[in-house]
Structure 1
Amino acid sequence: MPARLPSWAWVSGLTVGAIAAVAVLTVQADRGPHPTASVARPSATASAGAQPAPEASRPAAVPEGSGTGRRVVYSLGQKRVWLVDASDAGRRTFTVWPGTVGPDPGTYTIGTRTEGATTGSDGVRIEHIVYFALQDGVSVAFSNAVDGSSPPPPASGAKTGGIRMHKADGDALWAFGTTGTRVVVVK
């Protein structure tokens, strides 16, 4: 009759085997693909001239000379907006499609806000309209298309002051840019 192994030997053997299996699986998993976070970027449907500047691989830094404290910063040259909190940290940045009439560099204050959908000067249904400037008799405001689309190319000679953004960015700016919030426009 064969000798019988004590129960502690069986438990020890199974434990060593389980640890070895976990070690092998860990090494194999380490060699495989690793998940990475990615940011979905909606594609623009307008012509190349109307598209916002392409997103950088790293978030763009808040422009120097844009002041301090809680504010919205709009760069005319970069076609980009930053939502900056009271500690001067950029909480969100995104590209925009400017209208044909833009504000001069300077500091403005958000005045009127219109949440409900209306028709923009280009015939597109827009929402989350945040007015902050008047330039050459044209109201300048941030907004987004209700359907999330990019604006069509403006008609020749049309004066449009809408600064359009993707829908998610419009939602974020609407929540951040309450009446009285400063808007700093830089070159």
Structure 2
Amino acid sequence: MHARRRTPTWAWVSALTVAALVAVAVLAVQARGKVPEGGLASARPSASPSAGSADGKSGTPRPTPKQENAVPEDSGEGRRVVYSLGQRRVWLVGENELPLRTFAVWPGGVAPAEGEHKVSTRRAAGNGSDGVPVEHVVYFANTEGVWVAFSHAADGAAPTSSPEGRGGAVRTRPADGEALWEFAATGTPVRVVG
């Protein structure tokens, strides 16, 4: 008869460590696969406005991990657009209260009133109040008889005129404007904060 040999402790610890790492990897892959269709794809939030890519298309909304760009408190609940006048920044917030995308904007000379607004109408293209051809125009407020809308220059250029010359235009980079266009259908809440 042969005597039974015990498996060394180091072998058990190594096997359990490998099993734990495999389990974490499997869970990470599964979590990554549960992204809603059409959202959270390839674009990264921008820290500041820029001309964007040559074609102005860099994908659809993606989660924003940076805490310094957290959604402002008291900015409403549910799926919405949040526009901070003080930070000159927009957030696209999903139903789960997590930001899908955030980006800096160039505000116009006429600021919308703080509070709750809704996307009232949209235009695929046109000319801004400064005469610049614009795309993805999303109207959400009317202040002192001036319509306030998000848009981006058709050629992707940053605004060159003063904010006053742009009236109620809140300009974005092309990729950000396209993401906002896809996110904000007519009736979507837009919360303006200070």
Q: 1:44 to 1:175 in 2, by over 3 A?
A: closer
TM-score (normalizing by structure 2): 0.65
Q: Is the 8 A contact 1:70 1:182 kept in 2?
A: yes
Is residue 104 of structure 1 aligned with residue 113 of structure 2?
Answer: yes
Q: Is the 8 A contact 1:73 1:84 kept in 2?
A: yes
Q: Which residue is equivalent to 1:92?
A: 101
For 2:44 and 2:105, the matched residues in 1 are separated by 17
Q: Following TM superposition, by how much is the alpha carbon of 1:43 offset from its aligned partner in structure 2, in angstroms?
A: 7.0
Q: Which residue is equivalent to 1:119?
A: 127
**Equivalent residue of 1:175, what SS?**
helix
Q: Following TM superposition, by how much is the alpha carbon of 1:40 offset from its aligned partner in structure 2, in angstroms?
A: 9.1
Q: Is the 8 A contact 1:114 1:130 kept in 2?
A: yes
Larger radius of gyration: 1
For 1:159 and 1:125, the matched residues in 2 are separated by 12
Q: Following TM superposition, by how much is the alpha carbon of 1:152 offset from its aligned partner in structure 2, in angstroms?
A: 1.5
Q: Which residue is equivalent to 1:8?
A: none
**Equivalent residue of 1:98, what SS?**
coil
Aligned with residue 144 of structure 1, among 140, 145, 152: 152
Q: Which residue is equivalent to 2:183?
A: 176
For 2:111 and 2:121, the matched residues in 1 are separated by 18
After TM superposition, where is structure 1 displaced by more than 2 Å over at least 4 residues in a row? 38-45
Q: Deviations over 1:4-55 (max 9, x none)?
A: xxxxxxxxxxxxxxxxxxxxxxxxxxxxxxxxxx96968747xxxxxxxxxx
For 1:100 and 1:183, the matched residues in 2 are separated by 19
TM-score (normalizing by structure 1): 0.68
Name the % identity: 51
**Equivalent residue of 1:170, what SS?**
helix
For 1:176 and 1:40, the matched residues in 2 are separated by 15
RMSD value, Cα? 2.4
Q: Is the 8 A contact 1:122 1:154 kept in 2?
A: no
Report the residue type matching 1:80 in the other structure.
Answer: R
Residues 14-29 of structure 1: matches in 2 within 5 Å?
A: none
Structure 1 unaligned residues grouped into runs of 5+ = 1-37, 46-56
Q: 1:91 to 1:100 in 2, by over 3 A?
A: same
For 1:133 and 1:169, the matched residues in 2 are separated by 19
Q: Following TM superposition, by how much is the alpha carbon of 1:58 offset from its aligned partner in structure 2, in angstroms?
A: 2.9
Q: Is the 8 A contact 1:99 1:159 kept in 2?
A: yes
Q: Is the 8 A contact 1:97 1:151 kept in 2?
A: yes
Is residue 135 of structure 1 aligned with residue 143 of structure 2?
Answer: yes
